[in-house]
Every structure is written in C-alpha cells, then in structure tokens.
C-alpha cells in the first residue's frame, strides 16, 4: 500500500514537472506570436502623439497614464480575468459569444439548435442554470437584445481583423523609418517600398504554421524584450533617475488639469501602448492560459514599464525629440544592432494579429456566420493552429495598401487607435455578461469590474473618435465591409432554412416517395448531405427521387453539425438512427469550431459504417458492408434562389449578394477530403 502510494505521488510529481516544463516552453514560444504587437509598441507610441511644446510635467503625466493603462488593462483585465473566459481553450469575442450561447438560449441561427436526448447528443446541451437571472431571461425573450449581442460579437471580430491589417503596417513602417535618422537622404517612398516588401515575405511564411513560425521568431522577440528594458534602465540612470515617481496617479490629474481638452485628445496616442493586448485572448487557442500569464508577468510587462520609463526619461531632457521617440533614446554605440533587432521584432510583431485573424475567421466559418474559406490545420498536436490562404493573401494586400496609401506613421496610428480600444470595449461588455450569466458573480463584484473599465475605455474611445477623419475611418470601413458580408451570408442561410421548413420532407412522405411506381433501390452506399432537422429532411430529397426515380439500397442522410462548443468528445461525435424505410438511416457528425473535419480517403465512410454496425443487428450490418463494397457516392443538394422581377428590392439585393458569395466560396465536400469521382451535386431552384 505504501509502495503504491509512493509510486502515485512520484507519478504525480513527474506529471507536474512535465506540465511546468511544457508551460515554460509555450511561454517562450508566445514571445514570437502572442506578444509581438504589444511589446513593440514603443516604436510608435510617442511618434504617434501630436505634442506641442511638451514639458516635464506633461511627460510625467503621459508615462503615468501608460503605466496604469498597462497595469489595469493588461494585468487586471486580460491576465487575471479575461483568460478565464475561454471556451474549451479558445479565446476571443466569438468564443465568449459561443460560451454565452451554451449557457442560455440566446443564439440566432436555427442551424445551431442543440439536439434532443433521443438523438444521443446530450453532451452539447447548454449548461443552463436552474434559476435563470433576470438579465438572461431578458436577453432570451428579446430578439432585439439577441441580435444586438450577435452584432457586438461580429463587430469585435471585424475590429480584430482590422487590427490584423494595421499592426503589421505600423510596426514595420516605424522600424524601417529608423534608416532616415543616420541617412536623411533615404526617402519616404523608399521606406514604404522596403516595408511593403518585408511584409510580403512575412505573409508568404504563414503557410508553414504558427509553431514553426513562433519557434523561428521567438529568439528575435526574446532579444527585443530583454534589450529594450536594459537601454531603458541606462536612460533612466543617465537622464532622469526619479522617473518612477510618475507612477503616482496624481500626475494624471495634474496632466489633465493643465492640458484639459488637449490632454484628452492626446489619449488617442497613449492608447497605443496597450496595442496587441487583445491578441493575448484571441491567440489563446494556439497556446495555453498559464503560458501566456507566465510570459506576460515575467517578461512583457516589466519590459514595457522599463522601456517606456527610459523613453520618457530621455524625452524629459530632450523635449522636442518625441517624433522619433524610440531611436533617439537608443545610445549611439548600439544604434545599428538595435535597428536590426527592432526591424526583425517589428516583422514578428505582425504575427500576433495575423494568427488571431486566422483563428477568428475559422471560428466564424464553422459556425456558419461567414462564407466558407479554406482552413488548413498546421499542427497535429494543437488543433487551434490554423492557416487560411484566402485570408492570408487578403490581409497581405490590405497591409501593403495601408503602407502605400497612408505612408505616414501618424496617420496609421490614428486609424490604429480606433481599432485597439473598440475591440477592448467590446471584450469588456461580453466579459461582463459572462460574469453575470455563466459565472454567477455577485453584482457588486461585477460592478467593480464593469464601471472602472467602461469609464477608462469609454474615455479612450471618445478621444480616438476625434481621429476618424484623419485615418480612423479605415478600420470602420473594413469592419462595415466584413459585417455586410457576414450579414448577407447570415440572411441567405436564414431564408434557406425557412424555405426548407416550409417544404420539408417528413419520414412518412419519404416512405410514400419510395413506394411510388417506378422508384427503384439501386446497389451501393449513398451519403446524402442534408441539414436534417427533427423529424424531416431537405426538400432536395423529394426533388431527387421524383426526377431520378431511384435511391440507393443503403442511404445515409448525413448532417455535419457545427455546435457552439470548441471541441466535441470522440464518443459523442457520430450518432446514427433508423429513419423508417428499410436501409435508410440518419447520421449526425458533430464538430466544434476547434475540431478537425478533414477526412482521409474512406475515413468518413468507415466511421459511419462502424457506428451503424454498433447500432443495428449483425444481419443488417452485413448488408451495410455489402452496399459499401458495391460503391460509395456522396450526394449534395444545391438549392439556389431564383431572384426574379417580382422579388422585392430588399431581397433582390441581399439574396443576390448571398448568391454571389455562395458561388465564389468553397464547397463543403472538398473541405471533407471526399474523392472527386464520388461526388454528385443535385441542383434545385426556388423563388426568392
């Protein structure tokens, strides 16, 4: 007994040691992906401020604002609170929306309905409290509130993508601009062209996956993270040893009392010090909560506090050098080494938001809120690691366009500030709902979180909104365009669901169709893809039987069900049932938005046939195997809107837009790895 106990304790210790070592390795890798945008913000924060005759008191006030912004938003909000609001390890605004939908009946799309117990899919039921609170009841009963919640999540996702466009542009441009200090003859177009070329190279590396990219980039970010605070300490010692007195909040009060409206406008520049903090949450699926917490608290936060302190100490003694606030504070002997490190770090900084963009696009695609694009899983061990070629190249074009179109770092900074703080405000709102609806946090504690952060971030939002006409319009334009795409896609999917419900094929009607004159059962196994609802099938089935006058001996109506969870347990993934007529079955394959859905060769048929053999008797199972041996075919219905002259204008525009999106996006079958020779598509038109 003692020996067994000692063995268990030793095994637990080994497991703990292994867990700690894995967290430390992941923490090191996060430097190359998660924190790039945040830790390189000293490159452009001071240059983005439009200061006029700044004084020592001004700089002390600005540093105090940046210190408390990093502490409150970075440490308190994200590290201590937001990282706990993950959905099976996935983070971001859509993950929080998913989490809310699991715990309350607040989802919008009917296709995301949770199955009933008799369909053996109980594990994905919403975990609903016995006594729902008043807030949850209000949201569940109000379609307006539910739509506003969905719109908020969509805007958060769209703003994060806008962040993914601007972070690479401003980071690389600010770093390469360091060439113009020692070489004034270097023109702005040359800096812009070199920056664009570097970004193109970065985007071409994305296909190799986050793990390989982060392993290659982490040493660069480690060099940046640990050299900039060293220079900061040197600058503090040489220029202003008493800089840390600015930690006292009374310097913030004095700053606003002195500068008033001007001080409020300068918040649009100081907000950039927290750039990339949202990536800590959005990139959670690529790493782990503990690894991100370890990396931030042990290296990123101290590095930023010391670097900004050093920059401010230098500027207090050189008040007019703020337009080049980073390179001017670097000592001459280490200028070129720091230029090289800064350039490489700026390239790496782009990675955090690029990876986050891939994650949120994947989440929205599999939840059917965005047109289907190709999503590649780049790691066998980490399912959250994804790469989307179409998204990657679109980001690349937009990033290069921003550099060539704006050119000046201040203009990009104006646009950047709008995105940064709006994403954070949306996260604050959704996180408050998570606290109230899911965690059951006492309302007083929720108020202690909500009120200070809404006031802080709301003040920042009011300041950056003054920059909308000076570049801030760009992220709004990108977000509106993305939101229009998502709404058009959602509206089309909604209308199709309504049509299917009105023209449904019940199991009784299916029996009548098969018993009709001239209808034959042909050899083989047919997978008929259908968005099967409770008790009925897609109208395409009736269209198929009436025109083909046949159905395979074994027909499986297959539904791929994306559910509002990150991952579905293997034992709950495939569920089958008889549908009445002989040889006709229903099968649902469930996948969360972090699951892999790419099948190899006959893997799909094998999984379904295995489930059928477990569900039916030996004789019937042998019949299924015989049908499979005779040949497998995958039939997919393609219902299209016919937009005619009598269609009302609203539907003509939106459904026409949906049909355009539907015709250009990827098909569901190629995404499953189904062999081309086994695919059949059955088309069907209906009046819009």
In a domain, 225, yes or no: yes
Considering its fold, how many domains does the chain have in total? 2
Kindly report the CATH number assigned to the domain that includes residue 172. 1.20.1740
Q: Do 253 and 376 fall into the same domain?
A: yes
Q: Do 21 and 70 fall into the same domain?
A: yes
* Alpha-carbon span 489 to 384, nearest angstrom: 24
* Alpha-carbon span 314 to 682, nearest angstrom: 70
Element (H or E) spanning 617, and its range? none
Q: Do 527 and 648 fall into the same domain?
A: yes
Compute the CA torsion angle 507, 510, 512, 514 (nearest 10 deg).
-140
Q: Do 414 and 355 fall into the same domain?
A: yes
Taking only the tens place, the pLDDT of each residue in 48-99 is: 887 888 899 999 999 999 999 999 999 999 999 999 988 777 788 878 888 8
Task: State the residue range of the domain holding 541.
Answer: 504-687
Q: Do 251 and 193 fall into the same domain?
A: yes
Q: Do 536 and 650 fall into the same domain?
A: yes
Taking only the tens place, the pLDDT of each residue in 433-479 is: 999 998 888 999 999 999 999 999 999 988 888 777 777 777 778 88
In a domain, 366, yes or no: yes
Q: Do 542 and 457 fall into the same domain?
A: no
Burial class of residue 680, CB neighbours in 10 A (0-12, 13-18, 19+): middle
* Alpha-carbon span 277 to 424, nearest angstrom: 8
Max mean pLDDT among 376-380, 428-432, 645-649 falls in: 428-432
pLDDT of residue 654: 86
Taking only the tens place, the pLDDT of each residue in 196-245 is: 898 888 888 887 766 666 667 778 888 999 999 999 999 999 999 999 99
Q: Do 345 and 208 fall into the same domain?
A: yes
Max mean pLDDT among 360-369, 373-382, 423-432 falls in: 423-432
pLDDT of residue 115: 36
In a domain, 226, yes or no: yes
pLDDT of residue 620: 83
Looking at 408, 443, 466, the residue that finishes a domain is: 466
In a domain, 479, yes or no: no
Query: Which of helix, strand or coil describes residue 494?
Result: helix
Q: Is the pLDDT of residue 100 over 70?
A: yes
Burial class of residue 350, CB neighbours in 10 A (0-12, 13-18, 19+): buried
Taking only the tens place, the pLDDT of each residue in 599-629 is: 655 577 888 888 888 887 778 888 888 999 9
Q: Do 156 and 294 fall into the same domain?
A: yes
Looking at 442, 466, 490, the residue that finishes a domain is: 466
In a domain, 527, yes or no: yes
In a domain, 478, yes or no: no
Q: Do 235 and 93 fall into the same domain?
A: yes
Q: Do 435 and 547 fall into the same domain?
A: no
Taking only the tens place, the pLDDT of each residue in 505-552 is: 888 888 888 888 888 999 999 998 876 656 678 888 888 898 889 999
In a domain, 489, yes or no: no
Q: Do 512 and 453 fall into the same domain?
A: no
User: What percent of the chain clears pLDDT 90, i.e. is strictly above it?
Assistant: 21
Looking at 437, 466, 495, the residue that finishes a domain is: 466
Which two tokens mark 609? 């046939």
pLDDT of residue 440: 87
Q: What is the DSSP string of 523-567?
A: EEEEEEE---BTTEE-HHHHHHHHHH-EEEEEEEEEEEEE-SSS-
In this prediction the pTM is 0.75
With b for 16 or more beta-carbon neighbours within 10 A and e for fewer, the 153-177 pattern comes to bbbbbbbbbbbbbbbbbbbbbbbbb
In a domain, 320, yes or no: yes
């Amino acid at each position: 007994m003692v020996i067994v106990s000692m063995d268990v304790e030793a095994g637990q210790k080994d497991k703990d040691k292994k867990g700690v070592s894995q967290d430390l390795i992941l923490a090191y890798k996060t430097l190359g992906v998660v924190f790039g945008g945040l830790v390189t913000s000293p490159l452009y924060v001071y240059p983005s401020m439009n200061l006029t005759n700044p004084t020592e008191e001004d700089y002390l006030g600005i540093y105090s604002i940046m210190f408390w912004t990093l502490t409150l938003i970075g440490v308190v909000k994200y590290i201590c609170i937001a990282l706990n609001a993950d959905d099976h390890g996935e983070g971001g605004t859509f993950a929080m929306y998913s989490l809310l939908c699991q715990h309350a009946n607040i989802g919008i799309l009917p296709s995301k309905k949770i199955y009933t117990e008799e369909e053996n899919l109980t594990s994905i039921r919403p975990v609903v409290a016995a006594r729902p609170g008043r807030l949850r009841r209000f949201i569940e009963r109000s379609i307006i509130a539910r739509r506003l919640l969905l719109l908020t999540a969509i805007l958060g996702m769209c703003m994060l993508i806008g962040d993914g466009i601007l972070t690479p542009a401003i980071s690389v441009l600010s770093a390469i601009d360091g060439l113009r200090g020692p070489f004034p003859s270097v023109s702005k177009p040359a800096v812009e062209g070199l920056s664009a070329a570097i970004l193109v190279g970065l985007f071409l590396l994305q296909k190799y996956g986050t793990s390989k990219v982060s392993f290659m980039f982490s040493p660069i970010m480690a060099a940046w993270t640990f050299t900039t605070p060293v220079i900061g300490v040197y600058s503090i010692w040489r220029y202003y040893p008493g800089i840390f007195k600015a930690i006292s909040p009374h310097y913030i009060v004095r700053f606003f009392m002195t500068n008033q409206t001007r001080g409020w406008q300068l918040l649009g520049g100081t907000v950039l010090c927290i750039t990339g903090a949202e990536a800590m949450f959005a990139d959670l699926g690529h790493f782990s909560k503990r690894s991100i917490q370890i990396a931030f608290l042990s290296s990123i936060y101290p590095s930023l506090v010391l670097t900004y302190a050093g920059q401010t100490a230098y500027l207090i003694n050189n008040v007019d050098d703020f337009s080049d606030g980073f390179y001017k504070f670097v000592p001459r002997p280490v200028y070129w080494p720091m230029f090289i490190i800064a350039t490489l770090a700026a390239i790496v900084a782009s990675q955090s938001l690029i990876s986050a963009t891939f994650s949120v696009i994947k989440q929205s695609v599999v939840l059917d809120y965005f047109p289907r694009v190709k999503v590649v899983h780049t790691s066998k061990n980490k399912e959250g690691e994804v790469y989307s070629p179409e998204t990657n190249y679109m980001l690349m074009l937009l990033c290069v366009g921003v550099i060539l179109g704006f050119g000046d770092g201040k203009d990009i900074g104006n646009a950047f500030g709008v995105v940064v703080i709006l994403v954070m405000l949306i996260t604050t709102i959704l996180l408050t709902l998570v606290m109230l609806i899911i965690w059951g946090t006492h309302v007083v504690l929720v108020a202690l979180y909500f009120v200070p952060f809404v006031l802080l971030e709301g003040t920042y939002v009011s300041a950056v909104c003054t920059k909308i006409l000076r570049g801030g319009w760009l992220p709004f334009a990108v977000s509106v365009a993305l939101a229009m795409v998502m709404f058009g896609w959602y509206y089309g999917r909604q209308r199709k669901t309504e049509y299917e419900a009105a023209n449904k094929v019940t199991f009784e009607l299916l029996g009548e169709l098969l018993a009709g004159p001239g209808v034959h059962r042909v050899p083989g196994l047919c997978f008929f893809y259908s968005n099967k609802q409770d008790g009925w099938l897609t109208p395409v089935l009736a269209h198929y039987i009436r025109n083909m006058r046949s159905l395979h001996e074994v027909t499986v109506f297959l539904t791929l069900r994306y559910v509002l969870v990150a991952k579905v347990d293997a034992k709950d993934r495939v569920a089958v049932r008889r549908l009445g007529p002989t040889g006709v079955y229903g099968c649902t394959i469930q996948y969360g938005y972090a699951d892999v859905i790419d099948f190899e060769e006959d893997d799909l048929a094998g999984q379904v046939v295995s489930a059928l053999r477990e569900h039916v008797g030996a004789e019937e199972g042998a019949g299924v195997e015989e049908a499979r041996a005779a040949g497998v075919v995958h039939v997919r219905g393609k219902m299209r809107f016919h937009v005619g002259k009598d269609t009302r204008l609203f539907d003509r525009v939106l459904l026409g837009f949906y049909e355009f999106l539907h015709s250009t996006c990827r098909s569901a079958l190629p995404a499953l790895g189904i062999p081309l020779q086994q695919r059949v598509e059955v088309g069907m038109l209906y009046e819009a």
